[in-house]
Structure 1
Amino acid sequence: MGGAESVPRERPQQRSSRMDLLALQEKYDAFRITEDRETDSMIVERNIQYENRDHIGQRQTHVSGAKTEALIHTILQDPKNRLALSALSTANPATVLEKPAAILKDTQTFNVAIPFEGAPITNQRSSGRCWIFAATNVFRVAIMKKYDIEKFELSQAYLFFWDKVEKSNFFLESILETADLPVDDRLVATLMSQPVSDGGQWSMIQNLVDKYGLVPQTLYPDSFNAQNSAVMDRLLTTKLREDALRLRALKNSGSSTAATSVAAAKEQMMQDIVRILTLTLGRPPSSYTKFTWEFYDKAHKLKTVKVSPKEFAGGLNDTHGLRALGGTDVHSLFSLVNDPRNEYNRLLTVDFLTNVSGGEYVTYVNVDKPVWKKGAIEMLKKGWPVFFGSDVGKFSDSKLGIMDPDLVDYELGFNVKLGMSKAERLTAGESAMTHAMVLTAVHLSPSGEPIRWRVENSWSENAGTEGYFVMSDKWMDEFCYQVVVDPSCVSQEVRDILKQDPKVLPLWDPMGVLA
């Protein structure tokens, strides 16, 4: 055929020659790359030798660029590290390194649970009011039972308003009390670092409820600034720091009228603070004037309650009535903590840590883990929700709603060891109470040991399982610090610790961090 005859006979031989040339080119390129790598390595080694020429046998105090480059070169020679680079540099390492086994075992199933959980799931939004939300979520359970309500929230903004007023006043009083100290003294500097934070503690809730009572959220709902407190907080902080310097100067002036000047100045300062809070949060209900609260019960019957905030909160102090309603007396509850740095069976307090001048200072009964967890379990067995404080950001996934030290395998991903104890984390500033939530259930082994806990959070229904998290008992051991319990849930020996003169921790101690 003409087409076949037109193909030159030598073409197969030419194709073979081209293939040989390509093969030679590939070998040359491979040799060149290898040679370049060896050359780079030799250059790095020479640079290291040059940098170390005057430091043989000495500890280097500076970062060696040459050594670091050599280390990077060595790290990336390992195929596992190159795979890790591809995965960890393109996504959140905590998500990449999550262990499916931990997710499967941390299920929302429990064999001890309170019979009635409050509803709806709350949302603190962009504010640091978790402690107020956790406390009001504990309180509302008894109130909902009393009035037979399906869904109910207490006003978190009401307590937030009065907490800001009280903290501002306490800060100014603390500044006057420490006016004889240098402004760069550690105590003064700590006071000035955060005059009026959003955070708080259980003792502070007791102070507020005792003085101002409680109101339903429908009567004092969140303003924009209650939900987004950053700008308001910055303004308050700036004003209070300015006022602090002025008060110190007035008190230290040596004038015969200094006391009068200080009193007048402080009164004006507090008026400014109240003005800022009123205009950002709104006017709160009077703590002494009766309010009218209208609501529908579960049978859809309209009910009306007329009572003052203090009277409304008074029901939380009625021990007999609360026991019948599955509630707890707000004033009898106290904080058990687990702080392995300090002696167990010891009462602790923190210097200058409260919100109400003349109110209760923050106090903790420090006990070992078994005692601490037993108190929480007994609360749940009695049907009472448990306020607790923890370091929520450690080994947790807010989308999955899981808190478990086994959740993320950083050691596998980065080939590093993470081995600090709970005491060491506190000492190093690696951990502290950063968030308050509520325990509503626990799953116990046949021998009665806790396996996992159910947690009611205040991050909306979009977090976790419709707002609820599951916490492994191992996570509780490592990253929980506080549970608030009723005296009936602990032994007489533990209750007697409350009679001790407390060990006073400095304000900058990790136990002084406000949730």
Structure 2
Amino acid sequence: MRQSLTSEQLRAWSGALAADPAARLAMNAVARTSVEEVAVDRARLLAVQPSMSNRLDDWDAADQKRSGRCWLFAALNLLRADARKHLGVKNFEFSQNHAMYWDKIERANYFLEDMIELAGSEPDDRVTAFLLSNVLDDGGQWNMEVAIFEKHGVVPKTLMPETESSSNTSRMNASLRTLLRKGARLIREAIADGSALDDTDELKRSILADAHRILTIHLGVPPERFEWRWNDDDGAFHDGGHFTPREFLAKYTDVSLADYVCLVDDPRSEHPKNHALTVAHLGNVVGGEPVLYLNTDTATMKRLAAEAIVEEEPVWFGCDVDPHMEDKQGIWSADLIDYSAVYGVDLATTKEERVRYGDSAMTHAMLFTGVDLVAGAPRRWRVENSWGTEKFDKGFCTMDDSWFDEYVFEVVVRKDRLPEELRAALSAAPIVLDPWDPMGALA
């Protein structure tokens, strides 16, 4: 039998609070100052210094603005770190708008194919309902961007620059979601009425044509072939010639996307380490490589990420970005903000507990551009965020190594760096997680 709150309980709690000097002090402080400022450990904040033994970045941080494209920004930042060497342009950027355009149209097709596959289920079936409630989000995962780049290539930002809608995606996404949910209903009704496969495919194509129209109105027309001429940072002129987006990617980067794999730390005991994981219905390009994770420990992730940085290669990673972050200087440390001390309430949890009970997931992707090594072990990391140059250290943040253990969930490394046990996992059948599993969260 459920029990309601009683006035006696509420009066007792209020009396105890009024009699507690620490609670009164905290209440007075939080009334005038943000709780993050009250709770920050100043000594810990000052201890996380920005110096790095190995630092790669000498470019300006990019800005995703009011969009959830961090995963695409992080990957394009990885590619541009290589391209700028070929071009002699320090602050060269690839078009993030171009990458999002192709992700959206491909993801629309992926969603409608899911709806055809699941047409026999009820709309409130858990899988179908989950997919309907998560239509065309901005976020994604590593294999999804690889699928986009391999199929559609990349272009310089000057050839498909930002639009109002690429920088602020909410209204565009809302229109696309309405269209695709309507399309899901029409497709399911047509199949239920016995439509032939050809008719269903034609209906799907008409819905995608409408999605293409909306996307192009918001984001512009992606170039199919273009001329590329530029001046490098020394003022020298270069005439590169004409390229398709795929040819441009191959010409101006040496990064072989197929050579990379995503390592994750899934802390739940039922998912063994040194084993592959995937997530049902998570993807964007039909026919592209599925999302694949190799589950390992953070010590392995750190070692491989640090090795890459020492060899002058930035590292894409995904994390739960908000906890224990001082957002003026951009400092992360696992013990930086002590809410328990402010409230007098024990809020301590483990990484596994947070994942299992919905309190933590990989919500944001960024790029490691530096590491501070002491006797070969990392003590802090430098991070390129994609929130512009006005925040933090001109857009770059400093992560204490303790934060990595608690809130970093994935790093992308080259397969040839993997230890033998993880290489073996590449060829094994992955554990298939449910679509709503925390490891399916979109960075």
TM (norm. structure 2) is 0.97
C-alpha deviation, 1:150, in angstroms: 2.2
Residue type of the alignment partner of 2:126: R
**Partner residue of 2:130?**
190
Residue type of the alignment partner of 2:221: R
**Partner residue of 1:25?**
none
Equivalent of 1:205 in 142, 145, 149? 145
Structure-1 separation of matches of 2:251 and 2:34: 48
**Partner residue of 1:336?**
263
Residue type of the alignment partner of 1:113: R
Query: How many positions carry a matched residue from both structures?
Result: 440
- Do residues 96 (structure 1) and 96 (structure 2) align? no
- Do residues 167 (structure 1) and 107 (structure 2) align? yes
C-alpha deviation, 1:62, in angstroms: 1.2
Q: Secondary structure at the match of 2:293?
A: strand
Call closer, same or farther: CA 1:511–1:94 in 2, change over 3 Å: same
Please say which of residues 484-493 and 405-414 is displaced more in the overlay: 484-493
Structure-2 separation of matches of 1:224 and 1:338: 36
- Do residues 489 (structure 1) and 429 (structure 2) align? no
Q: Secondary structure at the match of 2:382?
A: strand
**Partner residue of 1:49?**
none
Residue type of the alignment partner of 1:296: N
- Do residues 313 (structure 1) and 249 (structure 2) align? yes
- Do residues 432 (structure 1) and 339 (structure 2) align? no
**Partner residue of 2:202?**
264
Equivalent of 1:233 in 173, 178, 184? 173
Structure-2 separation of matches of 1:400 and 1:270: 44
Residue type of the alignment partner of 2:295: N
Please say which of residues 298-307 and 434-443 is displaced more in the overlay: 298-307
C-alpha deviation, 1:87, in angstroms: 0.5
Structure-2 separation of matches of 1:332 and 1:373: 19
Pair member with larger Rg = 1
Structure-2 separation of matches of 1:146 and 1:292: 17
> Is the Cα–Cα contact under 8 Å of residues 275 and 422 in structure 2 kept in the other structure?
no
Q: Secondary structure at the match of 1:331?
A: helix
Please say which of residues 423-432 and 66-75 is displaced more in the overlay: 66-75
Consecutive unaligned residues of structure 1, counting only runs of 5 or more, are: 1-58, 323-327
Greater relative contact order (Cα < 8 A, sep 6+)? 2
Consecutive unaligned residues of structure 2, counting only runs of 5 or more, are: none
Q: Secondary structure at the match of 1:276?
A: helix
Deviations along 1:281-321, one digit per CA (max 9) or x if unpaired, are: 111111xx2x112221122112222221110112477xxxx
- Do residues 293 (structure 1) and 228 (structure 2) align? yes
Residue type of the alignment partner of 1:245: R
Residue type of the alignment partner of 1:412: A
> Is the Cα–Cα contact under 8 Å of residues 294 and 426 in structure 2 kept in the other structure?
yes
Q: Secondary structure at the match of 2:258?
A: coil
Q: Secondary structure at the match of 1:444?
A: strand
Equivalent of 1:374 in 297, 303, 308? 303
Residue type of the alignment partner of 1:397: E
Structure-1 separation of matches of 2:58 and 2:220: 27
> Is the Cα–Cα contact under 8 Å of residues 60 and 394 in structure 2 kept in the other structure?
no
- Do residues 279 (structure 1) and 214 (structure 2) align? no
Identity rate, percent: 37
C-alpha deviation, 1:225, in angstroms: 0.1
> Is the Cα–Cα contact under 8 Å of residues 203 and 362 in structure 1 kept in the other structure?
yes
Q: Secondary structure at the match of 1:141?
A: helix
C-alpha deviation, 1:450, in angstroms: 1.6
Residue type of the alignment partner of 2:404: M
